[in-house]
């Protein structure tokens, strides 16, 4: 049985997690790319494609939030590689450093709002919770992250934590 461990807005460095290192290397490659070495963007994209394949084989479903996050990230990196749009690399660079430093994944939070990933209608309360709730750490009984991601932060549940029963029950069922 898993438990939720509230981390609040703190550093969430997880050097014992392989996925954390992969995201850190990806963020560093994006920073190198922004420094003028375009090949680093391709390395970052290649790393993410590899991660996506591994997680797709692991979860065998596109419905897994870890897989959805990586697929969307590959799409974003591919769009950013278009010559006139390379300035957009700042977005995934900052976002990926936010993930490895404090566990906040804006991509997972946006994806949680897709109709297939939510059970309630979009409301101001849902948007506030989605984007402002601090990341939480989901751990197993052995104290290890459930998803194999840094602190479990690649899962939408880890990103958003549990909402109180009153806020969920007061919202209308989602479309």
DSSP states of 58-122: HH--TTSHHHHHHHHHHHHHHHHTSGGGGGGGHHHHHHHHHHHHH---HHHHHHTTSGGG-SB--
Per the domain annotation, does 175 fall within a domain?
Answer: no
Per the domain annotation, does 102 fall within a domain?
Answer: yes
pLDDT value, residue 78: 96
Q: At 21, is the secondary structure helix, strand, or coil?
A: helix
pLDDT value, residue 174: 33
**φ, ψ at 6 (rounded to 5°):** -65, 125
Residue ranges making up the domain that contains 112: 3-170
In tens digits, the chain (175 residues) has pLDDT values of: 333 344 455 667 777 788 889 999 999 999 999 999 999 999 999 999 999 999 899 888 888 888 899 999 999 999 999 999 999 999 999 999 998 888 888 898 888 888 888 888 999 988 888 888 887 665 544 444 444 454 344 544 444 544 543 333 333 333 3
Per the domain annotation, does 54 fall within a domain?
Answer: yes
Number of domains observed in the structure of the chain: 1
pLDDT value, residue 154: 53
Contact by Cβ (8 Å): 33, 41 = yes
- Tell me the C-alpha distance between 73 and 95, whole Å: 10
- Tell me the C-alpha distance between 73 and 132, whole Å: 21
The structure's pTM equals 0.75
């Amino acid at each position: 049985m898993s438990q939720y461990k509230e981390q609040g807005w703190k550093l969430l460095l997880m050097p014992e997690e392989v996925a954390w290192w992969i995201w850190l290397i990806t963020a560093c490659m994006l920073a190198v790319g922004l420094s003028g070495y375009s090949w680093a963007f391709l390395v970052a994209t290649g790393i993410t494609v590899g991660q996506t394949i591994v997680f797709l084989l692991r979860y065998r479903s596109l419905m897994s939030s870890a897989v959805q996050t990586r697929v969307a990230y590959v799409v974003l990196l591919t769009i950013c590689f278009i010559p006139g749009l390379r300035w957009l690399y700042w977005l995934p660079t900052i976002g990926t450093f936010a993930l490895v430093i404090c566990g906040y994944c804006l991509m997972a939070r946006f994806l949680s709002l897709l109709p297939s990933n939510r059970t309630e209608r979009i409301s101001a309360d849902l948007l506030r919770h989605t984007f402002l709730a601090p990341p939480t750490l989901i751990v197993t009984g052995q104290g290890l992250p459930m998803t194999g991601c840094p602190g479990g932060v690649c899962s939408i549940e880890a990103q958003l934590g549990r909402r109180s029963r009153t806020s969920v029950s007061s919202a209308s069922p989602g479309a």
